[in-house]
């Protein structure tokens, strides 16, 4: 594939895509990232917050975004919404949880994405990206990919985590040694994308392997302002670097800036809802009312305890995935998860006094939420952050499942074996937990984010007016413009999103390098309002 591609955003999908496209020495790849690059450093030389996956990094390499977690927005103040601003993206600062989407997720996406997005369609790319250090010999795993996947075994868990897992077993939950196997559920070790104890982001995997290729240019500390168009054909991007404004022209443009910044860039470039473009005096290139809609994320509700044991076995090392009673009635398999994490509560936007003890926070995750939010742009200035409305737990079934999960966790924490390891249950208190009205009100004050924004530019066929990109990720109504990040997903997957983002980068790289010229050009129906 001759020619050139400019990619905006060096996160999990963008980094994977850039590395794969640059394997062809005849193809020029330019990767633009708003944050700094550490590609020339060894693992040992990386900044502490980028290297250490025991705690999430929420400020040192962050965009400083905030969002409204519940509606009405005035009920609760704006909350931090960390996003990685660094080569490697949020994959350089997150919890390094290497979960695949489930086979059920991909079955749900078939209607919008066709056979390319079924389990069988994506499995070759899930295998291509991974080097599973525990189950690589199994036919649904890979061993040659750039991203190592490992699990901490039970002897490496904090005593409180061990006790939680034992309590789950006593409640009848099955052991699950591999949550990346088809149909996986139960309790067991969390898969992590780690190299030793270092986050295996796209920066230290895909891009470090590709770094130095003469046809790959990485431009860091460069903030993209807009996509450039000739009519309805994308021809390059405009960006800021070193207090100046520069342009790069390319044969194709790919936005991989994530589910917040990709729709932000589209709107700044004249692609989005008519009223937004009109209000901001942005000349329309293409009106698409779906840009920025359908925002989904995993709402998380924390049950915070303090441990008797002082441990250095930090982060997510085990988990419980299960089908709730309500989920079963609604036909939703594996709709809930719980992560017992030894971590600083502040990384979850929680102001908790830990009294010098280690906090074991049980993160109750509504893994298949029905609630949907939105984001929009309030200024044509690219430095003004978009307005984010996550609208967590607005669907009654989401709140009901969250309440039931919190009650189950607190009950477990009050009984042996878990109670033997817990010095104190900090939140919620027993009175709140027992009362429906009080518990719902408390949850609305503490519900926080999993940092898994998706679906703001979701895929679908051209006739689907709620979609932004085709099943092969070309932007509807435009030419030579693709999106490769979690914004294209139909809804948030059951699992955490990092491996799915890697897979999206792999998937688009394959299409761009193997399709016919006509298909690879991303030709879509004629421009106009959608």
Higher pLDDT, 187 or 346: 187
CATH fold of 3-62+81-104+106-111+199-291+453-520: FAD/NAD(P)-binding domain (3.50.50)
Q: How sure is the predictor about 350, in pLDDT bands with cuts at 50, 70 and 90?
A: confident
H, E, C per residue of 29-45 = EEEECCCCCCCCCCHHH
Domain extents for the chain? Answer: 3-62+81-104+106-111+199-291+453-520, 153-189+299-368+393-446
Return the minimum-mean-pLDDT range out of 130-144, 158-172, 336-350, 416-430.
336-350
Class of domain 153-189+299-368+393-446: alpha beta
Which residues are known to be catalytic? Answer: 452
| Nearest-10 crossing angle of helices 103-113, 119-129 | 120
pLDDT tens per residue, range 169-213: 999 999 999 999 999 999 999 999 999 889 999 999 999 999 999
Q: pLDDT per residue over 216-236, tens digit each?
A: 999 999 999 999 999 999 999
Q: Which pLDDT value is given to residue 63? A: 97
State the pLDDT confidence band at 515, using cuts at 50, 70 and 90: low
The residue-averaged pLDDT of 281-305 equals 97
Say how far apart CA 211 and CA 222 lie, in whole Å.
18
Write 61-65 long-range contacts (CB < 8 A, 24+).
61/35, 61/36, 61/85, 61/86, 61/92, 61/93, 62/93, 63/34, 63/261, 63/385, 64/385, 65/260, 65/385, 65/388
pLDDT of amino acid 314:
85
pLDDT of residue 351: 84
**What confidence score (pLDDT) does residue 310 get?**
87
Distance of CA 494 to the CA centre of its chain: 11
Among 86-95, 343-352, 356-365, the least confident range: 343-352
Q: What is the mean pLDDT of residues 479-493?
A: 97
Q: Which helix (H) or strand (E) holds 341?
A: strand 336-342
Spell 320-335 as b/e; 16+ CB within 10 A means b: bbbbbebbeeeebbbb
């Amino acid at each position: 594939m001759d020619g050139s591609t400019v990619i905006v955003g060096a996160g999990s999908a963008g980094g994977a895509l850039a590395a794969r496209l640059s394997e062809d020495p005849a193809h020029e790849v330019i990767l633009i990232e708003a944050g700094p690059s550490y590609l020339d450093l060894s693992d040992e030389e990386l900044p502490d917050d980028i290297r250490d996956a025991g705690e999430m990094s929420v400020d040192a390499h962050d965009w400083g975004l905030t969002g409204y977690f519940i509606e009405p927005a005035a009920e609760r103040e704006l909350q931090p919404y960390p996003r990685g601003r660094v080569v490697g993206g949020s994959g350089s600062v997150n919890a390094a949880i290497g979960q695949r989407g489930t086979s059920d997720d991909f079955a749900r996406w078939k209607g919008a994405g066709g056979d390319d997005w079924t389990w069988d369609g994506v499995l070759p790319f899930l295998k291509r990206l991974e080097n599973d250090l525990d189950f690589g010999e199994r036919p649904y795993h890979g061993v040659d990919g750039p991203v190592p996947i490992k699990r901490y075994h039970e002897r490496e868990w904090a005593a409180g985590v061990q006790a939680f897992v034992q309590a789950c077993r006593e409640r009848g939950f099955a052991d699950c040694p591999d949550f990346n196997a088809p149909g996986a559920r139960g309790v067991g070790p969390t898969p992590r994308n780690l190299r030793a104890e270092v986050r295996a982001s796209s920066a230290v995997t895909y891009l470090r392997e590709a770094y130095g290729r003469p046809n790959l240019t990485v431009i860091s500390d460069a903030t993209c302002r807009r996509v450039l168009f000739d009519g309805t054909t994308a021809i390059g991007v405009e960006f800021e670097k070193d207090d100046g404004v520069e342009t790069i022209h390319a044969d194709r443009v790919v936005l991989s800036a994530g589910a917040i910044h990709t729709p932000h860039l589209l709107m700044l470039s004249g692609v989005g809802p008519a009223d937004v473009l009109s209000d901001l005096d942005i000349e329309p290139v293409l009106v698409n009312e779906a840009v920025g809609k359908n925002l989904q994320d995993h709402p998380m509700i924390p049950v915070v305890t303090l441990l008797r044991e002082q441990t250095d076995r930090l982060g997510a090392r085990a988990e419980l995935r299960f089908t709730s009673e309500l989920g079963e009635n609604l036909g939703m398999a594996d709709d809930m998860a719980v992560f017992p994490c030894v971590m600083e509560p502040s990384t979850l936007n929680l102001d908790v006094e830990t009294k010098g003890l280690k906090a074991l926070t049980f993160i109750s995750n509504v893994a298949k939420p029905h609630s949907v939010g939105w984001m929009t742009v309030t200024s044509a200035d690219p430095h003004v952050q978009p307005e984010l409305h996550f609208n967590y737990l607005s669907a009654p079934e989401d709140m009901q499942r969250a309440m039931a999960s919190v009650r189950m966790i607190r009950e477990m924490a009050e009984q042996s074996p878990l109670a033997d390891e817990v010095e104190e249950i900090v939140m919620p208190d027993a009175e709140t937990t027992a009362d429906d009205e009080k518990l719902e009100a408390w949850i609305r004050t503490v519900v926080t984010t999993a940092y898994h924004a998706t679906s703001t530019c979701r895929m679908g066929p051209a006739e689907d007016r709620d979609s932004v990109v085709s099943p092969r990720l070309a932007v509807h109504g435009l030419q030579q413009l693709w999106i490769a990040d979690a914004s294209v997903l139909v809804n948030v997957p059951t699992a955490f999103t990092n491996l799915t983002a890697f897979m999206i980068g792999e998937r688009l790289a394959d299409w761009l390098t193997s399709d016919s010229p006509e298909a690879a050009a991303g030709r879509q129906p004629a421009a106009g309002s959608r």
